[in-house]
Amino acid sequence: MKLNSKLKSAFVQPFSCIALTTIAAIGLSPSVLAVSLHSPQQYTQRQVQKLAQFSDQGPSERSQILQQANALYNQGDMKGAEENLRKLIKQFPKDAFGHFQLGNVLFRQKKSDEAITAYREAIRLQSKYALAYNAIGMVYASENRWQEAITEYQKALEINPNYAEAMTNFALAMWQTNKQDEAISYLEKALNIFQEQNRKEKVNQVQKILEEIKKTDDSSIS
């Protein structure tokens, strides 16, 4: 069963130092589980400060390049952000985080194959990179490649069973492959995790997804 015209799940997180996470967008076409990124304007207020958390994890030059890339991203200059991240990777080729962030910027430019390559390199350098597996799943989901997306989400959850964003992504991909009961079960698990983490915004988002899915399910029965 595909979601009806009242539900489209847009899995999103911008160029972020923490994760590619999910939001739900209600009221759109069901044909594609869109995977997109917030606009720079939406992103700036919530995420721009996060990059500073990584400033002490490497050389100052690394931090400066990352900050420049982040600023360019926020300005909507994806090519500039990409150039800075490629500069970072050239200087620090074993920087898994740099490859991950490059993947995010490439994905934002709809360069799916290149984004996956960047995420895979991040995983090669850091095998337990759950965020990168989740990100690859999101790329596949954006292309309606549900089984491949599910495989990547599962890998993320094997690494971190409490990764609620990946769990939500996994659940909605399961829904798209007609596994409604499992989808609802995983959404409820994700909801519980978000509640335990006191992440109210995510709680509200998953609750809305569940409400819309149950409405869709009820209407199909009637």
Judged against a pLDDT cut of 90, whether residue 10 lies above it is answered with: no
For the chain, give every domain's residue range. Answer: 7-221
Q: Token pair of 10, please? A: 């847009």
Q: Between vectors from CA 144 to CA 113 and to CA 125, what angle results, nearest 5°? A: 40
Greater pLDDT, 26 or 51: 51
Which of 113, 108, 156 has the alpha carbon at shortest distance from 133? 156
Judged against a pLDDT cut of 80, whether residue 27 lies above it is answered with: no
Q: In the prediction, which pLDDT does 1 show?
A: 47
Q: Token pair of 3, please? A: 């979601």
Q: Taking residues 74-78, what's their average pLDDT?
A: 92
Q: How confident is the model at residue 217 (pLDDT cuts 50, 70, 90)?
A: low
Judged against a pLDDT cut of 60, whether residue 24 lies above it is answered with: no
CA distance 130 to 119: 10
Greater pLDDT, 219 or 38: 219
Side-chain-side CA neighbours of residue 22 (13 Å): 40
Q: Phi-psi region for residue 59, left (φ > 0), alpha (ψ -120 to 50) or beta?
A: beta
Q: How confident is the model at residue 216 (pLDDT cuts 50, 70, 90)?
A: confident
Place of tokens 């850091």: 126
Q: Phi-psi region for residue 25, left (φ > 0), alpha (ψ -120 to 50) or beta?
A: beta
Q: In the prediction, which pLDDT does 8 show?
A: 38
Q: Taking residues 94-102, what's their average pLDDT?
A: 95
Side-chain-side CA neighbours of residue 159 (13 Å): 17
pTM of the model: 0.77
R_g over Cα of the chain: 17
Span 45-56, pLDDT tens digits: 333 334 434 444
Q: Taking residues 95-114, what's their average pLDDT?
A: 95
Contact call for residues 184 and 210 (beta carbons, < 8 A): yes
Q: Which CATH class is domain 7-221?
A: mainly alpha
